[in-house]
Structure 1
Amino acid sequence: MTGVFIAQRGRFYFSIIVCTALLLTIFVLHVGLGSVYISPWDVIRAIVNCPAVEYQRWIVWNLRLPRSLIAPVAGGMLGLAGALMQALTRNPLAEPSLTGVSSGSILGIVLWLIYVPNAEKYPYLLPIAALLGGIGSIIIMYSITNKLKDGPFVLVLKGIVVSAILSSASSLFLIQNNDKLPTVMLWIVGSLNAKVWSDWSTIWPWALVTIPLSLCCCRTANVLQLGDVVSIGLGIRLQRSRLSLFLVAALLTASAVSVVGAISFIGLIGPHIARRLVGHNAYRVFPISMLISACLLLLADFVTQVASLVFGNVASGLPVGAITSLFGAPFFLYLVSRTRR
């Protein structure tokens, strides 16, 4: 038994080192990729303000670094949210969109664009509108779950219902104001295009709060995965514990969606790969899920940029959500087939 524990701990630390190294490698390559290619060594020199050529420092700091920072942070937050939802529901097919927050964020953007005069002139305020919409959906979910002793299935079912209602509301508003559709579509699919430092300023304070908060939920997540009877026997208050995990997952999702949009499948794939690597212990799954999901979103955005360079105008402005859906949908079908067996 001791040997198994040592082996699992060694595999966890090895996974941390490999995932971190992979993330840093993709990050440097991501910053260097563009119409003006910058070598990895020159990227590092530009980041530390010792550029080989002055224009490289300007390109890196003003055009590329915000996008390259936002991608792994948003991906890590979605991965943590997915791990929380899967632990809460004891279902490997659960993902952050089940909180209803993604739909609430989209509705916030729609209402902002329609009812705020000259909203297009203030694009840097769009993430704030999305965040307010996501927080609004969290309040709705809290109000309909706080009074009932909901099990995991009922909690997820309510999230799906709230998500459907909010999505329908967005559709009704867009039907009457279809000129706003092109802008909203980027948020519905999820995109990292044209991200600037103001977007980074929106996401990092939330990441600083929600990521440690989610890592503090590891013990509760481990106990909830043992089942209701065992959890009660160990002194866990089921309703409060489920609601706390749900709210933390919703906050993580709202923060990420408010900047990058409703990117799908990242919060599903990352935790699944993490469990295959380090087992089901939340103390190991949560940090590995965060790192893997960060790598996945950064890599997906790297693919969109390569496609834009190779195919030119045909793939110009390709949203990263299209890539995650393209590869995530087959992965989801694979998980469904394994679950049925």
Structure 2
Amino acid sequence: METLTHIVQRPTELAANSTSPVIQSFAPWQWQSGIYVGADYLFTRAAFENPAAFVVTGGGLPPTTGTIVNQEFGYQSTPRMFIGWRWANAGAVQFTYTRFDDNASVAANAGAGEFIFPPNDENQSINGTPTAAESALGLRLDIYDVDFLRPIRFAGGFWDFTPTIGARVADFRQQGRTSFYDSSSALMGEGSYDSRFVGGGPHVGIEMRRYFGAGRTFSLFGRADASILVGAFDTSVHIVTTAFSQDTVGNNDHAATMVPLGLEVGGSWQPMARLQLSAGWQFQHWFQSGPTGNFPFTPRPGDLSLDGLFARVAWVF
């Protein structure tokens, strides 16, 4: 293990009573060998590219202009954990697990002369003039990463450049339900779906870290990563329209490729040799992440983004 010696000279008024300087001797956390573990607290919000749940319009059948009511998630607490083994300058192997699980719901009632329809419903799948609607959407994302990290140090040990290469497996699941009612609260139409993507593929990333202070106990860092996940969607759909006495159940299973990108920036403090505390902001974007919004009536595949704050505690044994 590489060791740095941080010598802090006592103030002048204390130096006369001291025979030696204060010694702080430990290496930066990222340089230490052994087993290490860590846990992140993520305060994250999900946002779909096509979040429309339904449209409140001033009258007439679609297509017309109106007010779009979106399905929006709030910020949610979620965990991320990792464990690894580091061989000093030779690199490290790390396993990381990330979990996101949240639900969103929205409802609306039409005013006088207004009606509610699914967005972009050119086929007029609901016959009549709904005056109330409610929609619920659930999202669960489990991510498993196994990576090899190899730090490269330069500028006298004040900069670390760490490329990573490994593999990622993701289990991505969405569940949605949207219902439309007439003025007597009778159901006019309802659609629900359950969509799941499971896939895996290569995972690569880079991190730049800048240390500060003679003991290198403070640092700022930025990290970016990407992966290509090859897998399949398993989607089931259930649509009910009372005007047409329609009750349809369908399945759509197909191969797909999903591309997630990630970005993380923050700062770290090492108050003792084996402990590091970090905090910052993280962002993820999942391209072609499957159905979004009012899917059963109007299929609109799109992207998913996740953003929010993180706080991390890491310990090396």
TM superposition score category, shorter chain reference? under 0.3
Q: Which structure: greater helix fraction?
A: 1
- Who wins on radius of gyration, i.e. which is larger? 2
TM-score by length of 2: 0.23
Q: Which structure: greater strand fraction?
A: 2
TM-score by length of 1: 0.22
Which structure would you say has the larger RCO, counting Cα contacts within 8 Å and 6 or more residues apart? 1
